[in-house]
């Protein structure tokens, strides 16, 4: 769907037929829109409202109007900024690594002439697997007691506790996240690669361009749209990271993400006021990232017809 055709038909051509077409269109569209909004619009408005109160679910009678105090509390709290930093770090590192690995995999899938079914099947398994299962698999793999990672990495002490330090725990979380989502990235990039004209690549090759030159000068520029769409969706997805952290560390060793912090306030602490403020801020952060990526990198949203 290109956006140009998305607008209303010119006034002059408003006829009975187009009016009935419009009615039909809205009848077809309405159920989906209602369902999408039913679960999102009310809760976020409610969160917006509750965020203005001091409100603990276990002491509902002590509810007290605070105005924007909850937001001040959150935004001046070092924990919030630490978790924002963690989340952004996870987002940048995982998306960066996935871009490289994902491109390599896409390239392999693009070029390979045999065993395509096998390759496609293998790469789809991590995509389809439950994130929680991936988290468990990697948690056990990195486990000091019964994991194989310490034994397989020659430079690693056999009793190194991956979940005992900040950086190693973050690494374990990111490995699980990357493993699970690289296939998605690779497939989006494959779609981009298949748009690159083989003639252009061959012409460059005839002109004596090396493999790297062809990659940088011909292939990558021609699949820019695909890369940007992939980055946008994966970045937003990574920013919401929750499952892996919940299973692997529960936020210990300072591995908490913004989503996990929000979950803890709302669900564990019963701090509906403060937690709602966090919910709203989390929502705004996602909007901000989407906005920055779209504006800064000029992602063509009309092309972004995909979700993770």
Partner 1 sequence: MIALSAAALASLSLLAACGDDSGPPELVWYINPDPNPPDGFPGAFGQAGIAERCSNDRYTVRTELLPQSATEQRIQLLRRLVAEDSSISLMSLDPVFIAEFAAADLLEPLPEDLASELSPATLQGALAGATWEDRLVAAPLWANTQVLWYRKSLAQRAGLDMTQPVTWDQIIEAAAANGATVGVQANKYEGYVVWINALIEGAGGSIVTDTEAGPDASVDIGAQAGTEAAQVIRKLASSSAAQPDLSVSNEGTVLGPLASDAGGFMVNWTFAYNNYAGGPVQDDLGWARYPRTVAGEQSAPPIGGINVGVSPYGEHTDLALDAVRCITSLENQVTYAIETANMPARQAAYDDAELREQFPADLLDLWQESIDTAGPRPPSPYWSTIVNATLSRWHPANEVDPTSTPADSASFIEDALKGRVLL
Partner 2 sequence: MKRARVNAGILIGAALLLIWCLLPIVWIASLSFKPVEETATGSPQFLPKTWTWDNFSSVFQNDDFQRALINSFGISIIATVLSVALATLCAYAIARLQFRGKRLVLTIALAIAMFPVVSLIGPLFDLWRTLGLFDTWPGLVIPYMSFTLPLAIWTLTAFFREIPWEMEQAAQVDGATSWQAFRKVIVPLAAPGVFTAAILTFFFAWNDFVFGISLTSTTNARPVPAQLAFFVGPDQFNPPVSTLAAAAVMVTIPVIIIVLLFQRKIVAGLTAGAVKG
Kindly state the tokens that stand for 46: 């409610």
Looking only at residues 38 through 97 of this chain, which bind partner 2 when binding is defined by CB under 8 A? 38-40, 42-44, 46-47, 50
Q: How far is the CB of 272 from partner 1 (least distance, A)?
A: 10
Residues found near partner 1 in the complex (CB under 8 A): 30-31, 34-35, 38, 54, 57-60, 73-74, 77, 79-80, 144-145, 159-161, 163-164, 250-253, 261, 264-265, 267-271, 274, 278
Site for partner 2 in 4-23 (CB under 8 A): 5-9, 18, 21-22
CB of 60 to partner 2, least distance (A): 11
CB of 253 to partner 1, least distance (A): 7
Bridge partners, 271 (sequence order): 56
Helices 224-239 and 78-111 pack at an angle, to 10 degrees, of 140
Quote the tokens at residue 130. Answer: 């439950």
CB of 33 to partner 2, least distance (A): 6
80/45 Cα distance (integer angstroms): 22
Cα separation, 294 vs 289, whole angstroms = 8
d(CA 7, CA 25): 13
What gap in Å lies between CA 234 and CA 99, rounded to an integer? 10
Residue 290 binding partner 2, by CB under 8 A: yes
* Runs of H (alpha helix) within the chain: 16-50, 69-75, 78-111, 116-128, 131-142, 149-152, 166-193, 198-206, 211-213, 220-222, 224-239, 243-248, 258-263, 272-296
| Positions 172 through 211 that interact with partner 2 (CB under 8 A) | 179, 182-184, 187-188, 190-192, 194-195, 211
**What gap in Å lies between CA 102 and CA 188, rounded to an integer?**
9
Q: Is 102 in the site for partner 2 (CB under 8 A)?
A: no
Residues near partner 2 (CB under 8 A), total: 119
Please say whether the beta carbons of 172 and 139 come within 8 A.
yes
Cβ proximity to partner 2: between 169 and 247 the closer is 247
**Binder among 71, 80, 136, 160 for partner 2 (CB under 8 A):** 136
For residue 34, the minimal CB distance to partner 1 (Å) is 5
Partner whose binding site includes residue 71, from partner 2, partner 1, none (CB under 5 to 8 Å by kind) = none
141 binds, among partner 1, partner 2, none (CB under 5 to 8 A by kind): partner 2
Of these partners, partner 1, partner 2, none, which one is at the site of residue 59 (CB under 5 to 8 Å by kind)? Answer: partner 1
């Amino acid at each position: 769907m290109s956006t140009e055709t998305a607008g209303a038909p010119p006034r002059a051509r408003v006829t009975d037929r187009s009016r009935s077409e419009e009615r039909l269109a809205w009848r077809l569209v309405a159920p989906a829109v209602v369902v999408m909004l039913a679960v999102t619009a009310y809760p976020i408005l409610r969160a917006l409202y509750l965020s203005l109160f001091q409100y603990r679910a276990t002491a509902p009678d002590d509810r007290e109007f605070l105005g924007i105090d909850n937001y001040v509390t959150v935004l001046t709290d070092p924990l919030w900024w630490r978790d924002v930093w963690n989340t952004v770090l996870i987002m940048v590192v995982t998306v960066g690594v996935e871009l490289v690995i994902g491109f390599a995999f896409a390239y392999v899938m693009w070029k390979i002439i045999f065993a395509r079914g096998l390759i496609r099947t293998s790469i789809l398994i991590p995509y389809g697997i439950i994130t929680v299962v991936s988290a468990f698999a990697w948690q056990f793999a990195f486990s000091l007691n019964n994991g194989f990672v310490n034994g397989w990495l020659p430079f690693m002490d056999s009793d190194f506790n991956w979940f005992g330090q900040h950086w190693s725990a973050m690494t374990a979380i990111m490995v699980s996240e990357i493993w699970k989502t690289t296939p998605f990235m690779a497939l989006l990039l494959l779609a981009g690669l298949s748009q690159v004209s083989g003639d252009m690549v061959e012409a460059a090759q005839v002109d004596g361009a090396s493999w790297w030159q062809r990659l940088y000068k011909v292939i990558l520029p021609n699949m820019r749209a695909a890369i940007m769409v992939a980055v946008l969706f994966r970045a937003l997805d990574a920013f919401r990271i929750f499952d892996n952290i919940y299973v692997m560390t529960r936020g210990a060793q300072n591995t908490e993400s913004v989503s996990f912090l929000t979950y803890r306030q709302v669900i564990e602490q019963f701090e509906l006021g403060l937690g709602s403020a966090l919910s709203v801020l989390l929502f705004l952060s996602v909007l901000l990232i989407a906005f920055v990526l779209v504006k800064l990198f000029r992602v063509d949203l009309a092309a972004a017809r995909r979700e993770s």
